[in-house]
Amino acid sequence: MPEVLKNDLFLRALKGETVTRPPVWMMRQAGRYLPEFIKIREKYDFFTRCQTPELASEITVQPIRRFGMDAAILFSDILVVPQAMGIPFEMKPGVGPWLEDPIRKGSDVEKVFVPNVEDSLKYVMDAIEMTNEKLVGEVPLIGFAGSPWTIFCYCVQGQGSKNFDQAKAFCFTDPEAAHVLLQKITDTTIAYLRAKVAAGVHAVQLFDSWGGMLSPEDYTEFSWKYLQQIVTALKPEAPVIVFGKGCWFALDTMAKSGASALGVDWTCAPEVARKLSGGKITLQGNFDPSRLLSPPDTIRKMVHEMIRAFGKDRYIVNLGHGILPNIPVAHAGAFIEAVKGYSQ
């Protein structure tokens, strides 16, 4: 891996340094809306793409070639972690994540193990090395994992859900078993992210996609205490970004965690996010992904307004969640160009 990055704007923003413009990347930028990705998708199923380093690395660099974002994010999925723990998730067409026998009782939790990630997730580490070879020091590479709570939701529910009622029921009826499973996921995630950093990612992001399903009190018990363990373990090794969808109520706690940056979704105004997080930590976000369906001129105008609202320093431009599959490529381009062309 080249020692010096040609573009380190993203890493400088994570450190809170003064920059000429904020860096930009998009959650889920590697994938579904890109025609070059769709060609690969037609040939290989989802987990084959994740588990084949040549494919994962190619998909990771596609958006960088096309748009020149300030960071690449490794193409993978949060469910590779439970798969490595002996929980056999598949991706069902038209359904999404699917687990035939969800974890519903204490004896199911006992069967779940903390794996040797160097072995079971070696394909991810190989993909990181291949990606860095393809990037040749152009931009930093981000590795990621799901929050333990979000992984837990899928493991107990068995599939996506509007409210993850089964996952919550498990926590509230058998909290002891729930905490055992959450800790196993946490231990695996720490080992996994450490291995990713050793393999060559420059920063890591934690996705708490379903954190907003919990009340603030339950969030503290079933999600945040596990995220805090991960941040504490990883922060000496790499910058950590925490993104909790719908978790605006926890921004003050998150800001004191040792994380380098906090992701914000589109339901929280920039000024409010700054106030709740204490104004001293880098924030990332928070353009509504559906807004990329607006005309390109509107997108550019809104992006500039968003940068002014957050302020150009201690800020990373991003969406408030992953890019949608139906976004026209030119509109994604307008979003990136608006940031790269920004001047005060």
77 is catalytic: yes
The third-level CATH classification (topology) of the domain covering 9-340 is TIM Barrel (3.20.20)
274 is catalytic: no
Q: What is the three-state SS of the chain? A: CCCCCCCCHHHHHHHCCCCCCCCECCCCCCCCCCHHHHHHHHHCCHHHHHHCHHHHHHHHHHHHHHHCCCCEECCCCCCHHHHHCCCCCEEECCCEEECCCCCCCHHHHHHCCCCCHHHHCHHHHHHHHHHHHHHCCCCCEEEEEECHHHHHHHHHHCECCCCCHHHHHHHHHCHHHHHHHHHHHHHHHHHHHHHHHHHCCCEEEEEECCHHHCCHHHHHHHHHHHHHHHHHHHCCCCCEEEEECCCHHHHHHHHCCCCCEEEECCCCCHHHHHHHCCCCCEEEEEECHHHHHCCHHHHHHHHHHHHHHHCCCCEEEEECCCCCCCCCHHHHHHHHHHHHCCCC
The reply, when asked if residue 341 is annotated as ligand binding, is: no
Question: Which of 21, 33, 70, 154 is an active site residue?
Answer: 154
219 is catalytic: no
pLDDT at 190: 99
The reply, when asked if residue 76 is annotated as ligand binding, is: no
The reply, when asked if residue 321 is annotated as ligand binding, is: yes
Question: Which of 8, 70, 77, 187 is an active site residue?
Answer: 77
The reply, when asked if residue 28 is annotated as ligand binding, is: yes
pLDDT at 85: 98
Low-confidence stretches of the chain (pLDDT < 50) are: 1-2
pLDDT at 3: 64
12 is catalytic: no
pLDDT at 1: 44
